[in-house]
Structure 1
Amino acid sequence: MASFLKAALAVTAVLSTFMAPPTSSAAETLRINGTGAGLVVVKPLAVAFQKENPGIIVEMEKSLGSSAAIKAVSRNALDLAISGRPLKPAESAEGLIQKQWGRTPFAVLANRQLRVSGVSLNELAAMYAGSSKWPGGELVRVVLRPNEDVDTKLTRSMSPEMDRGVSAAQARKDMLLGITDDEAFEVVKKTEGAVAVMALSLALSQPNAVAVLKLDGVQPSVANVASGKYRYVKEMHLVTRKDVPAAAAKFIKFLESRKGRALAAKYGVFVTGTK
Structure 2
Amino acid sequence: MGPIFANVRSATALAILLLTASTGVRAEDLPIVGTGDGIEMLQAVADSYNAEHGQARVSVPPSIGSGGAVASVGGERQKLGRVARPLTETEKAQGLVEVPLIRIPSAIFVHRGVGVATLTSAQVAAVFSGGIDNWSALGGPDLKIRVVRREETDSTLSVLRATMPGWRDLVLTSRSKTATTTQDAIATVRDTPGAIGFGPFSPNLASDFTVLSIDGRVPRDPGYPSAVTLALIYKTATRDAEASAFLAFATSDRAGQLMAERGGAPLKP
Q: TM-score range by the shorter chain?
A: 0.7 to 0.9
Give SS of 1:77's match.
coil
Q: Deviations over 1:169-223 (max 9, x none)?
A: 1xx2x4211011111111111111111221103xx345622221111111212xx
**In the superposition, relative to structure 1, how do residues 22 and 197 fare at CA in structure 2: closer, same or farther (>3 Å)?**
closer
- Could you tell me how far 1:34 is from its partner in structure 2? 1.1
Q: Deviations over 1:77-134 (max 9, x none)?
A: 2121110111112211211111221211111111122212211101101111220122
Query: 1:81-120 counterparts in 2 under 5 A?
Result: 81-120=81-120
Give SS of 1:132's match.
coil
Alpha-carbon distance between aligned partners in 1 of 2:59 and 2:250, rounded to the nearest angstrom: 16
Partner of 2:180: 179
- Could you tell me how far 1:271 is from its partner in structure 2? 4.1
Partner of 1:251: 246
- Could you tell me how far 1:147 is from its partner in structure 2? 2.1
Q: Is the 8 A contact 1:40 1:205 kept in 2?
A: no
Is 1:261 aligned to residue 243 of structure 2? no
Query: 1:196-211 counterparts in 2 under 5 A?
Result: 196-201=197-202, 204-205=203-204, 208-211=207-210
* 2:152 counterpart letter in structure 1: N
Q: Choose which of 225, 234, 242 in structure 2 pairs with 1:231.
A: 225
Q: In angstroms, what is the RMSD of aligned CA positions? A: 2.2
**In the superposition, relative to structure 1, how do residues 231 and 163 fare at CA in structure 2: closer, same or farther (>3 Å)?**
closer
* 1:198 counterpart letter in structure 2: G
TM-score of the aligned structures, taking structure 2 as reference length? 0.81
- Could you tell me how far 1:245 is from its partner in structure 2? 2.2
Alpha-carbon distance between aligned partners in 1 of 2:82 and 2:26, rounded to the nearest angstrom: 25
Q: Choose which of 135, 139, 148 in structure 2 pairs with 1:143.
A: 148
Gaps of 5+ in 2: 1-22
Extract structure 1 runs of 4+ deviating beyond 4 A. Answer: 21-25
Alpha-carbon distance between aligned partners in 2 of 1:66 and 1:40, rounded to the nearest angstrom: 16
Percent of paired sites with the same residue: 26
Partner of 2:171: 167
TM-score of the aligned structures, taking structure 1 as reference length? 0.80
Give SS of 1:81's match.
strand
Is 1:59 aligned to residue 59 of structure 2? yes
Q: Is the 8 A contact 1:33 1:63 kept in 2?
A: yes
Alpha-carbon distance between aligned partners in 2 of 1:116 and 1:93, rounded to the nearest angstrom: 47
Partner of 1:50: 50
Q: Is the 8 A contact 1:66 1:84 kept in 2?
A: yes
Gaps of 5+ in 1: 1-20
Q: Is the 8 A contact 1:109 1:213 kept in 2?
A: yes
Give SS of 2:50's match.
helix
Give SS of 1:261's match.
helix
**In the superposition, relative to structure 1, how do residues 30 and 271 fare at CA in structure 2: closer, same or farther (>3 Å)?**
farther
Alpha-carbon distance between aligned partners in 2 of 1:24 and 1:208, rounded to the nearest angstrom: 35
Partner of 1:74: 74
Q: Is the 8 A contact 1:82 1:236 kept in 2?
A: yes
What is the aligned residue count? 240
- Could you tell me how far 1:150 is from its partner in structure 2? 2.6
Give SS of 1:238's match.
strand
Q: Is the 8 A contact 2:156 2:227 kept in 1?
A: no
